[in-house]
Amino acid sequence: QSVLTQPPSVSAAPGQKVTISCFGSSSNIGSNYVSWYQQLPGTAPKLLVYENNKRPSGIPDRFSGSKSGTSATLGITGLQTGDEADYYCGTWDSSLSAWVFGGGTKLTVL
Amino acid sequence: EVQLAQSGAEVKKPGESLKISCKGSGYSFTSYWIGWVRQMPGKGLELMGIIHPGDSDTRYSPSFQGQVTISVDKSISTAYLQWSSLKASDTAMYYCALIVVVTNTDWYFDLWGRGTLVTVSS
């Protein structure tokens, strides 16, 4: 079990908005930056958001990140079928002195 | 173009040894940490360990300490992950990733290799 908790799955219709949550604690999300990764089926993960809310070049502004207290959220607007993927949050855990990933959330665009 | 090129899929028997590779190009290889991430079939991502190619400083995640060895040959811009005695439970996809380190606790995986599938079966 990961120290970062994500819902196993979320779903929404094309064009709609979805949020994916990542719950942690004061030793990880509460005190460190969060990044998010998208893994399309059969491919390697890709960085979507870093330092809570920054997007790498080439990532559309449909993707956004935020953090409040000990939880972080990835938002995706204008959903497309091509957004169907697994999404992972990650951060440093100061108590474990280790990097941790969330368990991942499977997004289905109905 | 910044790239991490990983070696091809492997099929091994339990007890055999294995070394897989990750070659960086298009950037200063010795300036960025490289991480190895395991993804077991149908499961999530797990960081195994990281290495700094500049000085070979290596850190292992607790679950993987003593189970694998991470190394680097900076003369050919290549990082390695190796096992001395594989088990069936080592069957997984293994990714290398370029890590951007802002501070000791602020880092992220900026670029990923395509992965190397390792299958261990008798």
Q: What is the pLDDT along chain B (122 residues), one digit of tens a residue?
A: 999 999 999 999 999 999 999 999 999 999 999 999 999 999 999 999 999 999 999 999 999 999 999 999 999 999 999 999 999 999 999 999 999 999 988 999 999 999 999 999 99
Q: How far apart are CA A39 and CA A52, in angstroms?
A: 18
Which pLDDT belongs to residue A1? 77
Amino acid at B25: S
Return the biggest CA–CA distance within chain A.
Answer: 40
Q: What is the pLDDT of residue B39?
A: 98
Average pLDDT of span A17-29? 97
Q: What is the mean pLDDT of chain A?
A: 97
Angle at A35 between CA A110 and CA A3, to 5 degrees: 90
Residue type, B85: S
Question: Which residue of A74, A99, A100 is the best one to mutate when testing the B interface, meaning the one whose CB has the most B CBs within 10 A?
Answer: A99
A55 contacts on B by Cβ (under 8 Å): none
What is the average per-residue pLDDT within A71-82?
97
Note whether B70 and A15 are within 8 A (CB). Answer: no
Tens digits of residue pLDDT in A34-56:
999 999 999 999 999 999 999 99
CA distance A1 to A14: 32
- What's the rounded Cα separation, in Å, for the pair B48 and B40? 12
B117 touches chain A (CB under 8 A): no
Q: A-side interface with B, Cβ within 8 Å?
A: 2, 31-33, 35, 37, 43-47, 50-51, 56, 88, 90, 92, 94, 96, 98-104
Q: Which two tokens stand for residue A57?
A: 């070049």
